[in-house]
Amino acid sequence: MNPSADETAENASPAKDALAALLAELRDLERALPPAAREHLARLLSPERLSYDTGIAADRIAELFAGAEPDTGDSKEAAQARYLARLVFLRATRLKRPMTRRLSGRTPRPYTYGEIARGAGLSRQTVHYVFTEGRQTSPESVAGMERFFGALPGFCCYTESEALLSQLRPIVKHLHILKTVADAYEHGLTKIAARSGEDLSGDADAMDEILTAVIAARRQQ
């Protein structure tokens, strides 16, 4: 039985409210940073980067940051359309690159359905029908394709709010940690862990640059 519109809105409300609160918290943290640190943070928050990591269009992410209402469609039909769109996005953005020097001049290309099937442990027919006819498949099959493309679990299923929360929460957590580290440096402590266990998808260097900029700005005060 499909949920009613009221039930759908009620279920989506926690993630929607959590995103609004997190964006407000992020803005407060950003305003407290010196200009040089804000420039490094902008790299982590660029709509293009967040689009790649969430499957949400860059212009839509810019709208959400500006206060647009996130899409709360959580009906079976909306979830189906979302997971298909995200799979198509993964195939369009996670391209196969030449593996040898001899082929290095070739342009990266989308993976074939057969390559996806082998990598995800699925039948080629299943992958073909998903991409060409939009057929629904099992959560396990979707998870296998997410892993194949190197996407985080839930990439194809998350609503707009859930997708952004999954990317912004680690950034906000690290900003709080870096504030603690900067405060410690200001009081003469130089040995304190500046990392948490959460992944920043290869952008930990940006956090190190933010910390360096914050400490440098405080020393100049």
Instruction: For the chain, give every domain's residue range.
Output: 14-70+161-219, 76-157
Q: Tell which wins on pLDDT, 187 or 31.
A: 31
Closest CA to 139 of 128, 131, 147, 150: 147
Cβ proximity of 164 and 63 under 8 Å? no
Give the fold, CATH level 3, of 76-157. 434 Repressor (Amino-terminal Domain) (1.10.260)
- The mean pLDDT value for 107-128 works out to 96
Q: Please indicate, yes or no, whether the overall pTM of this predicted structure exceeds 0.85.
A: no
DSSP of 93-152, one letter per residue?
HS-B---SGGGTTSPPBPPPHHHHHHHHT--HHHHHHHHHH-----HHHHHHHHHHTTPP
Cβ proximity of 24 and 133 under 8 Å? no
CA 20 to chain centre: 16
Query: Binning pLDDT at 50, 70 and 90, where does residue 2 land?
Result: very low
Tokens 């993964």: give the residue.
Answer: 90
List Cβ neighbours of 3 (8 Å cut-off, separation of 6 or more).
11, 74, 75
List Cβ neighbours of 27 (8 Å cut-off, separation of 6 or more).
none
Whole-number pLDDT of residue 183: 78
- The mean pLDDT value for 173-178 works out to 90
Q: Is the pLDDT of residue 13 over 90?
A: no
Whole-number pLDDT of residue 105: 65
